[in-house]
Amino acid sequence: MLLGALEAGGTKMVCSTGDETGRIYARESFPTTVPGETMPLLIDFFRNTRVEALGIGCFGPLDLKESSPTFGHITSTPKEDWRFYPLLPTLRGALEVPMGLDTDVNAAALGEHALGAAAGLSSCLYVTVGTGVGGGLVVENRLVHGLVHPEFGHFWLRPHPDDPAPKGFCPYHDGCVEGLSTGPSIEKRWGVKAERLPEDHPAWALEAYYLAQMCVSAIVIFSPEKIILGGGVMQQGHLFPPIRRHVREMLGGYVRHPAILEEMDRYIVPPGLGVNSGVIGALLLAARAAHGKTPG
């Protein structure tokens, strides 16, 4: 069965074809401008490739309640042109194939849980740290949704004493994960793009401190069997050792499990699927939709 995958991001929309084993056949990306320009390009790609089902991992917030009259709509996104846009209904009307929809990070978590770093486990947390922060959570082999869906970037952290901008840069909250640790927040704090900063720049000490707090909160609240950190900021591989060290120190011996005490380098890890976590997760959403299964 030929499956389609849409990674709907705020900067670009990545369209792919593949199968439920995670094999990717073709990929093309289009800029995320306004729906009237972008949507016809996506529809043409999937119509011309003749996909038999489509999986969508999309930026949020999203309405994922199937009983809701606005199911499948993007809701209160800061991307004004896409606010309250009926993404899923529009694609369904145009393509008329089975479709599965979830957040972009839940799609990535699904991919990592099925075929990546968390394969064989019953739970994992996937967090992307890039232009924003988002978390996808699998618990007891099911994706977590709830009231809406987790907004992992917006819980509060303790500021580092040396942070020149301890309130961060989130337009909604002072001192939340997203406001303190994204690529744009690093650039606003130091006046230089994150990827241009040397490894010994103080920015990275702050970053490791904040992401470690995030991981500690996840450990004591959700107890995931694996924490996977992806996204553009986490391309800085030198962040992993100080994050792991801070996590162990912040837990203070309270969580006495070998994963924490002895095997941290196998517990907090980069994506096993590399940059393909999201597309493979979207292919799996498509496969589930084709077989009549719910996203979770």
Please name the residue ranges forming H helices in 166-227: 177-181, 183-190, 202-222
Residues 178/153, Cβ–Cβ less than 8 Å? yes
The mean pLDDT value for 6-32 works out to 95
Residue 292: what pLDDT?
87
For domain 117-270, the CATH superfamily is ATPase, nucleotide binding domain (3.30.420.40)
Percent of the chain residues topping a pLDDT of 70: 99
Confidence check: pLDDT of 167 > 60:
yes
pLDDT digits (tens, 9 = 90+) for 68-121: 999 999 998 878 999 999 999 999 999 999 999 999 999 999 999 999 999 999
Higher pLDDT: 231 or 149? It is 231
Are 3-103 and 117-270 equal in CATH topology?
yes
The mean pLDDT value for 246-256 works out to 95
Among the listed residues 216, 222, 211, the one whose alpha carbon sits nearest the alpha carbon of residue 252: 216
- Please name the residues in contact with 6: beta carbons below 8 A apart, sequence gap of 6 or more: 13, 14, 15, 16, 42, 46, 54, 55, 56, 57, 58, 91, 282
Residue 269: what pLDDT?
98
57 pLDDT tier (thresholds 50, 70, 90): very high
Q: Is 215 left (phi over 0), alpha (psi -120 to 50) or beta?
A: alpha
Residue 99: what pLDDT?
98
Least confident of 32-36, 141-145, 240-244, 283-287: 141-145
Q: CA–CA separation, 215 vs 227, rounded Å? A: 8
Confidence check: pLDDT of 296 > 70:
no
- Mean pLDDT rounded to a whole number for the chain: 95
User: 111 burial class (0-12, 13-18, 19+ CB within 10 angstroms)?
Assistant: buried
CATH classification code of 3-103: 3.30.420.40
Residue 79: what pLDDT?
86
255 pLDDT tier (thresholds 50, 70, 90): very high
Among the listed residues 202, 207, 201, the one whose alpha carbon sits nearest the alpha carbon of residue 177: 207
Q: CA–CA separation, 93 vs 100, rounded Å? A: 14
The mean pLDDT value for 50-65 works out to 95
Residues 167/175, Cβ–Cβ less than 8 Å? yes
Sheet strand arrangement including 268-269: 142-143, 133-139, 124-129, 227-230, 268-269
Please name the helix (run of DSSP H) or strand (run of DSSP E) that holds residue 48, with its range, or none: helix 35-49
pLDDT digits (tens, 9 = 90+) for 139-154: 999 999 877 778 889 9
Domain ranges of the chain: 3-103, 117-270
The answer to whether the peptide bond before residue 61 is cis (omega within 30 degrees of 0) is yes
Residue 151: what pLDDT?
84
Confidence check: pLDDT of 295 > 60:
no
Q: CA–CA separation, 186 vs 165, rounded Å? A: 10
- Tokens 């707090």 appear where? 213
Confidence check: pLDDT of 294 > 80:
no
Residue 172: what pLDDT?
87
